[in-house]
Structure 1
Amino acid sequence: MNKLMKYSLEKFGLALLLLLTICSVRLSAQNTTIKGTITDAKQKAPMPFVNVFIPGTAIGTSTDMNGKFTLEFTGRYDSIHVASLGYKTFKVKINIGTEQTVNVRLESTSRMLGEVIVKGAKTARYRNKDNPAVELIRLVLDHRDSNRIEGLDYAQYNQYEKLQFALSSASDRERPNRLLRKYKFIMDNRDTTKVEGKSLLPIYLEENIADVYYRRNPEKKKTFVRGDKKVSFDESYIDNAGMSQYLNHIYQDFDIYDNNLMLFTNQFLSPISNAGPTFYKYFITDTLYTEDSTKLIELSFVPRNQTDLLLQGKLFITADGHYAVQRADMTGNKHTNLNWIRSFRIMQEFEKMPNGRYRTSKRTLMADMGMFTSGKGGIYGERTVSLRDFVANKPMPDDFYKGNPIVKADSADKTTDSFWVHYRHDTLTTAESKVYANIDSLQHTRSFRRTMDIATLLLAGYKGFGPIEVGPVNTFYSFNPVEGFRLRLGGRTTPKFNKSIYLESYGAYGFKDKKWKYYFGGTYSFTHRSIWEFPVRSLSANYQHDMQIPGQQLQFIQEDNFLLSFKRGNNDKWLYNDIYNVNYLHELVNHTSFKFGFKYWAQSPAGSLAYIKGQPVGGFPDSIQRVKTSEFSLEFRWAPHEQFYQGKQFRVPIPNKYPIFLLRGTAGVKGVFGSQYNYQNVTLNIYKMFYLSPIGYSEVVFEGGYTFGKVPFPLLSIHHANQTYAYQLESYNLMNFLEFVSDHYVSLNIDHHFNGFIFNKIPLLKRLKLREVAAGKILYGGLRDENRPENDPTLFKFPVDKNGILSTYTLGKKPYIEGSVGIANIFRLIRVDLVKRFTYLDHPDISSWGIRTRVRLDF
């Protein structure tokens, strides 16, 4: 499941980004560079941490300790703004496409206090000790729990969320590309008022209104969704629910009081975190009063190392003894190693409660995204979360929090325009209000549908024909040593056929073994919704007559994927299979699921693989042509706080900090449909992602298994090996197929992504935005004496190679160990690992070193 999770999420993310980029607007812009110094008009002193920006955009910078700044951008902007809290905003006219110097003197406002600004001298070394700014942030940390909603025993409020995306260009005077030029009704909806200097063409809008109830002890949250509205695309091309989940995954909600902020799938260390003083520099840059005479301290902060995944900006902290954040305004650093994100800005606003404390009233995340960093055409995204009608410490009965934590009203998807006018916290712009109808009209145009047909075929690998789809195209042709040249054609039904019934089939033919292979399968949904829509209650049955490599049940890709045809070393041990499967899946709203199953499996060795018993009969080895088993299975899965991207034919959990537990038990029963063996197997798999901001994150997989009973080696645990040139997370990349078998084992895989923590400090590598990765895999296992073929002649002998040398082994006292170091983010997509095998180097035909690659979309 974890392989499926990573592969599918990466594939969907890449497809979505490319799909949106297809529709981006072409620009012909010029590079402009502005340099200068900002000083206080009265004191004539340079001013650090002053914002220099183009209003309404994410383009901006801040002055350094000497008041100097440099701002580079591409676009037709004719002015910049210079602003600092307590000073009058200064507008500067500039010349487009030139390099110029601008020096500005800021005048203080009438609300400015005559207090001394504390800032370090030019040559003074920054220190945490005896630093009033650091002492202030420590006071904020001490009062953190009491200044957030989670610090209350009970809380309830009305929450409005808005997520929007728009194609952006430098101005409305730029000509659209050929794809969009024919859709005049879409192009007429461009918005030039929302973001100054930008022409935005809305393409996606999602709104949600809900009542939220929170209890601290025991912690529970109940959300009642009253309205849910989003742009809807034709399901033949785009899975709307999946796209919504993925976009919300990229634009996750945040809270400045959390130790870490998840932004664009990367974790940024919050300036209000226990480790903040270690990684940030803090400066008291101003003191001021609000309109209600509340005294605020302006605390500016910057990263100690600008290349780390850290933020910079300002916090406005109350000086009333509560040390609460009244407002936060933060941006990323242009030197941070981020993909696709040119610039971003996050803001969090707080509202004073009757008890004098503050609670969140609004959170906003804005970002300018694009394939390239030049600023030419791209995607503007914005997520806003607004809270109002706040009620503190009003208890609700315990039964109130039971059941599904999110309850959606039956009428939530059928709300009227008058409903949104009344309950929406913010008024939509004219362009935003038209996006629902415009996208609906766009999908009915013949040229757009033709374009989407081509995009779906290229990105998803399927071609739709009404209620069915044909594909995937990457399996149409493949090859292997047993079948030789292999052709395959398959298809599946879509929700247009029937939402409750899903059918899938394929046929294949090998030109070397001259045999047909085929598959038929179907699933019925008892919820009368899509078989992938949570929570699922479904019954599935399928039959497969095909080939596979022993022990290589690759869950996230087809075995006959063309790219997997290229393998290193010998790859001539295969199986012919006849497999019947019946499974019942039942999911609960707390993300616990149960699966009951029955599997009949008849397997026959193919290629150089042979099943030979150790005891000769009549002077000749006893060769077994077919092994039959019938097994019953029970699977328990628990994924607390799980979120997932839900596609049309799969569902992919979105990684978060919570673990995923999978416990599976199987029992083979002799005599059922000719089954030849009695055995039992128990497997436990635990997946956990550890975020170690700012040094990246680790994906950790622990697995253990035990097989009870006496069985031949094909029914033991055949450890996942990889003889392809693709890097696989949960396979052993330098282990040969069928090299190791066990009846008991434990394994630990760790894959760590440093996110450029090291490379960002090396000038050349920093410009290339390369990222370092490291992995380690260890496998302990063994075989009980009763399952060793040398101890029991009725068991199958372990396979040998063409020279008669043993090619399958059991693990001894030492574990199998391999590790790798690699470079990721090559061309923003490719990862290359140098893999080293450390143990069992005396086995024949193994590789002790290897280079493996992987394609992965990261932000």
Structure 2
Amino acid sequence: MNILIKVNKKLSLLALFMLLTVTAFAQNTVVQGTVRDAKTKETLPYVSIAVVGASQGVNTDMNGHYKITVNGTYTQLQASYVGYRTVMKNILPGREQTIDIVMGNDAKLLTEVVVKGGKKKKYTNKNNPAVELIRKVIANKDKNRSEAYDFTQYKQYEKMFFSLSNLSDKFKNRKMFRNYQFLFQEQDSTAIGGKNLLPMYMEEKLSDNFYRKDPESKKQVVTAHKQVKFDENFIDNEGLQQYFNRMYQDIEIYDNNISLLSNQILSPIANSAPAFYKFFITDTLKDQSPQLVELSFTPRNTTDMLFEGRLYVTLDGNYAVENAVLTVNKNINLNFVRKMMATLSFEKNPDGRYHLSGSDLKMDFGINKNKGGGIFGQRTVTIQDFTVNQPLPKTTYEGSAVVFAKDAEEKSDMFWQSNRLDTLSIQQRDIYKNIDSLQTIPSFKRTMDLITLFIAGYKNFGPFEVGPVNTFYSFNPVEGFRLRLGGRTTTALSERYYFETYGAYGFKDEKFKYFLSATYSLNNKSIYRFPQNYIRASFQHDTKIPGQELQFVQESSFLLSFKRGNNDMWLYNDIFRLDYVHEFRNHFSYNLGFKTWSQSPAGALYFQNTVNGQPNNIRTLKTTELSLQLRYAPYEKFYQGKLYRTPIPDKYPIFTLQYNQGVKDLFGGDYNYQSITANITKRFYWSQFGYTDIGLEGNNIFGQAPFPLLDIHRANQSYAFQFQSYNLMNFLEFVSDHYAAINIDHSFNGFIFNKVPLLKKLKWREVIDFKSLWGGIRNENNPALNPQLYNFPISTETGAPITYSLNNGPYMEGSVGISNIFKILRVDYVKRFSYLDHPGIAKNGVRFFVKFDF
């Protein structure tokens, strides 16, 4: 019995030993950490991480993080990256551990890359294995898109962060910041943005995203949103958000063109990429599963709108992009961009294909590309819980493309801490409260006040602001020297009631002019915030050039006072308006209007008809009009300024339909008529060949009306180039009761100049413009056939006609020009092609336009 007990004990100990041994061998070894550059301390994306002796391997993500799990008693970890020395680290088998890795440049390898002997071999696509590989990537890109699935859904976290960058120590130590040094962020001087950063803006967004292939639908439900808020008297927070989101759009590597800032840049895997890029195989990562090829690319012409960087392509038959690094060449014809880097990472789906799991886009802007302060911006996107082909109820995919949950703006700090899919740095975490503190500094408020006065033209006094300053002084032939002073109330007075006024005096005609308006907001929002919903009543007694409905400028602006040719036919107007404006989140809107309008000729203009064969002068034309405007601008983005909305150009069309009804005898109206106007505008992108803005417009007036109530076509006698006006047409030169028009403006984005050795250094861009107007006047509205109608004006000096119809063919003009001069100026040489026999016209001329563009 004792012998059996001893044997059993030995067997039990042996079994326990074997069990422990097996358990030890079966236990997972988990290693994670971050890989950084030894000099810059910046994280390194897509570094190859492998356990020595094991078959598993991973790449670091876009933030330099990695995590690898292996079975076995392996003791060494290897990190390798092109241009860096390979690093070996000891690991403890069977344990979870964090090992951060610092990698230094491989000077020997860099020397071997830069110093080459012998004749440089000419690059060619023919028999080039790199080009053959990229063609396989292009051939397979449709199946590698997320849109290749019937259904997808995922959670997404976005973080956008902006700072004043590359700030000097002198700026940092200014008096206004003496007690606020905690606002600044310090980093390695070689990092994007430089040593000193002053965080100024932060936005976070958490959303659920859904896609359906047939019928195609994309929908984003924003469950949480947080944004730095500036004083609304200085900055349109919602417009700022839209502007930044337009600049930092999602980078879709599988699209032919990638939107960056206000441009579209050819993707390195576009169908035509081999014609514009050079490709090189620079590494093969065999430690990966699947194996990856590092495919580097660079523009054939470094000034073109192209990327440079690296793609990591799988060799598993999918030829998918697993990681990507995109930058731009320093010579690119892209304004104000000092540095740019975008990193994309993709994760494997159960079917072996890949989906985007994260992106990181960093850009540093500055007026001077080499030195001085600038702006650093970064947008990171993290995607989790990506599922495919799991259809949801139809209602999930219906409705607006972007929907905000009712409580999206009200999430607590605890919610964000628990639900962020990424981490925040200390500076990012504190930016919300820091900016609130910054806005209390008197010197900062004074600075913002001056910037608002300079850019927007208004000086804020709390509940009332005075402006716009560019209208304080102007001059014209009727009023002579004109002074004007006005302003409006702000939200500091009321969120519902708004009042606006101005007074003006002309020293030549010795008449006072004025304007009064009162607005009531129906949605308890500022009337300057989208979506608008308000009622407005206004009265204006002022001068006006017939037919001039200028957009984005004030007619009494000082700069528009300078005009070519005769400009002495004006109107005195008394206009009472009642408007109801209602906008919807899907960017559909309507405007119901009521207007009574008294027009009296001024200057050399006169209203005259024929009664019993004798000329009869009319002192006043009275009109009562009802109107309805419908407008639809899908996905429209804009910045709401003090005076008007500045549109952020995009590829989506804008549709407008306007109906006007003149009512005779209502409040003294003299005529019955109906008018219908339709307008469509759209921007078309042509990749490397630039973009085209096209506008189509048509109108028809029903009924009989004198020429002041017909369409007096928009002319331009200033020296500024106007996109919506005819730049060589005289005021009052053409009127119509039906017309069709087309405006075409194309920018080549430097595509031609970039190829010219001397010109490409100037970063100029070529532009062309063409406008054509077809129209006419029916017999019933022709004063030559109907004496009771107002005669077309003639020159009081020469007796020559001033106003014409378009019955003899279309009016046409075109221009060629150069934009991006000093990065802000466009100069066009404009030529007129028709109606050249009209007296007093300009057959050609030079026009100027100031615009900031990227």
TM-score, normalized by the shorter chain, greater than 0.5 = yes
Spell out the pairing of 1:256-267 with structure 2 (5 A cutoff): 256-267=253-264
Q: CA deviation at 1:673?
A: 1.0
Q: Tell me which amino acid in the other structure corresponds to 1:480.
A: N
Q: CA deviation at 1:93?
A: 11
* Correspondent of 1:577 among 558, 573, 579: 573
* Residue of structure 2 in register with 1:796 after alignment: 790
Change (3 A) 1:306 1:53: farther
Change (3 A) 1:540 1:362: same
Indicate the structure whose relative CO is greater, using CA pairs within 8 Å and at least 6 residues apart.
1
Q: Which moved more, 1:646-655 or 1:378-387?
A: 646-655
Q: Secondary structure at the match of 1:755?
A: coil
CA contact (8 A) 2:85 2:106 kept: no
Q: Does 1:348 align with 2:344?
A: yes
Q: Secondary structure at the match of 1:763?
A: coil
Spell out the pairing of 1:413-428 with structure 2 (5 A cutoff): 413-428=409-424
Change (3 A) 1:577 1:277: same
* Residue of structure 2 in register with 1:277 after alignment: 274
Q: CA deviation at 1:503?
A: 2.1
| C-alpha distance in 2 between matches for 1:84 and 1:670 | 81
* Residue of structure 2 in register with 1:152 after alignment: 149
Q: Once the two structures are superposed, what CA deviation does each residue of 1:337-369 show, in whole Å capped at 9, x if it has no partner?
A: 111111211111101111111000111111111
Q: Secondary structure at the match of 2:749?
A: coil
CA contact (8 A) 2:85 2:105 kept: no
Q: CA deviation at 1:123?
A: 5.3
* Residue of structure 1 in register with 2:321 after alignment: 325
Change (3 A) 1:602 1:53: farther
Q: Does 1:678 align with 2:672?
A: yes
CA contact (8 A) 1:180 1:187 kept: no
| C-alpha distance in 1 between matches for 2:166 and 2:727 | 45
Q: Which moved more, 1:331-340 or 1:765-774?
A: 765-774
* Residue of structure 2 in register with 1:509 after alignment: 505
* Residue of structure 2 in register with 1:84 after alignment: 82
Q: CA deviation at 1:124?
A: 4.8
Change (3 A) 1:143 1:653: same
| C-alpha distance in 2 between matches for 1:837 and 1:87 | 66
Q: Tell me which amino acid in the other structure corresponds to 1:282.
A: F
Q: Tell me which amino acid in the other structure corresponds to 1:856.
A: K
Q: Tell me which amino acid in the other structure corresponds to 1:281.
A: K
Q: Which moved more, 1:270-279 or 1:280-289?
A: 280-289
| C-alpha distance in 2 between matches for 1:151 and 1:93 | 41
| C-alpha distance in 2 between matches for 1:121 and 1:420 | 59
Q: Once the two structures are superposed, what CA deviation does each residue of 1:469-518 show, in whole Å capped at 9, x if it has no partner?
A: 11001101111111111111111121222223332111111111111111
Q: Tell me which amino acid in the other structure corresponds to 1:703.
A: E
Change (3 A) 1:711 1:122: farther
Q: Tell me which amino acid in the other structure corresponds to 1:273.
A: A
* Correspondent of 1:371 among 364, 367, 374: 367
Q: Does 1:104 align with 2:111?
A: yes
Change (3 A) 1:847 1:772: same
Q: Once the two structures are superposed, what CA deviation does each residue of 1:232-282 show, in whole Å capped at 9, x if it has no partner?
A: 211222222222221222222221111111112111011121222222222
* Residue of structure 1 in register with 2:205 after alignment: 208
* Residue of structure 2 in register with 1:392 after alignment: 388
* Correspondent of 2:709 among 690, 707, 715: 715
* Residue of structure 1 in register with 2:283 after alignment: 286
CA contact (8 A) 2:826 2:850 kept: yes
| C-alpha distance in 2 between matches for 1:210 and 1:714 | 53
* Residue of structure 1 in register with 2:296 after alignment: 300
* Residue of structure 1 in register with 2:140 after alignment: 143
Q: How many aligned residue pairs are there? A: 765
Q: Does 1:553 align with 2:549?
A: yes
Q: Tell me which amino acid in the other structure corresponds to 2:431.
A: V
* Residue of structure 2 in register with 1:828 after alignment: 823
* Correspondent of 2:250 among 253, 273, 278: 253
* Correspondent of 1:733 among 705, 719, 727: 727
| C-alpha distance in 2 between matches for 1:388 and 1:121 | 51
CA contact (8 A) 1:245 1:646 kept: no
* Correspondent of 2:354 among 333, 350, 358: 358
CA contact (8 A) 2:775 2:806 kept: yes
Q: Does 1:635 align with 2:629?
A: yes
* Correspondent of 1:840 among 823, 832, 835: 835
Q: Does 1:668 align with 2:662?
A: yes
Q: Which moved more, 1:450-459 or 1:637-646?
A: 637-646
Structure 1, unaligned runs of 5 or more: 1-51, 60-81, 95-100, 108-118
Q: Tell me which amino acid in the other structure corresponds to 2:830.
A: V
Structure exhibiting the larger radius of gyration computed from Cα positions: 2
| C-alpha distance in 2 between matches for 1:195 and 1:429 | 19
Structure 2, unaligned runs of 5 or more: 1-36, 45-79, 88-102
Q: Tell me which amino acid in the other structure corresponds to 2:483.
A: L
Spell out the pairing of 1:296-695 with structure 2 (5 A cutoff): 296-615=292-611, 620-647=614-641, 650-695=644-689
* Residue of structure 2 in register with 1:857 after alignment: 852
Q: Once the two structures are superposed, what CA deviation does each residue of 1:288-341 show, in whole Å capped at 9, x if it has no partner?
A: 1354x2111222222222221011111111111111110111111111111111
| C-alpha distance in 1 between matches for 2:113 and 2:804 | 77
* Correspondent of 1:772 among 766, 771, 775: 766
Change (3 A) 1:687 1:55: farther
RMSD across aligned positions (CA):
2.7
Change (3 A) 1:199 1:448: closer
| C-alpha distance in 1 between matches for 2:307 and 2:682 | 26
CA contact (8 A) 1:56 1:195 kept: no
CA contact (8 A) 2:83 2:106 kept: no
Q: CA deviation at 1:568?
A: 0.6
Q: Secondary structure at the match of 1:673?
A: helix
CA contact (8 A) 1:614 1:789 kept: no
CA contact (8 A) 1:189 1:434 kept: no
Q: Secondary structure at the match of 2:450?
A: helix
CA contact (8 A) 2:219 2:402 kept: yes
| C-alpha distance in 2 between matches for 1:375 and 1:425 | 35
Change (3 A) 1:330 1:180: farther
Q: CA deviation at 1:678?
A: 1.2
Q: Tell me which amino acid in the other structure corresponds to 2:777.
A: L
* Residue of structure 2 in register with 1:818 after alignment: 813
CA contact (8 A) 1:361 1:387 kept: yes
Q: Secondary structure at the match of 1:595?
A: strand
* Residue of structure 1 in register with 2:214 after alignment: 217
Q: Does 1:752 align with 2:722?
A: no
Q: Secondary structure at the match of 1:448?
A: helix
Q: Tell me which amino acid in the other structure corresponds to 2:619.
A: Q
Change (3 A) 1:488 1:102: farther
CA contact (8 A) 1:326 1:350 kept: yes
Among all aligned residue pairs of Structure 1 and Structure 2, give the percentage whose two residues are the same amino acid: 53
Q: CA deviation at 1:178?
A: 6.5
Q: Secondary structure at the match of 1:793?
A: coil
Q: Secondary structure at the match of 1:564?
A: helix
| C-alpha distance in 2 between matches for 1:814 and 1:473 | 42
* Residue of structure 2 in register with 1:8 after alignment: none
| C-alpha distance in 1 between matches for 2:151 and 2:681 | 33
TM-score, normalised to structure 2's length? 0.85
TM-score, normalised to structure 1's length? 0.85
CA contact (8 A) 1:696 1:755 kept: yes
Change (3 A) 1:648 1:839: closer
CA contact (8 A) 2:236 2:639 kept: no
Q: Does 1:781 align with 2:788?
A: no
Q: Once the two structures are superposed, what CA deviation does each residue of 1:515-550 show, in whole Å capped at 9, x if it has no partner?
A: 111111222222222224333332222111111000
Q: CA deviation at 1:616?
A: 5.3
| C-alpha distance in 1 between matches for 2:529 and 2:262 | 24
Change (3 A) 1:93 1:583: same
* Correspondent of 2:241 among 241, 244, 265: 244
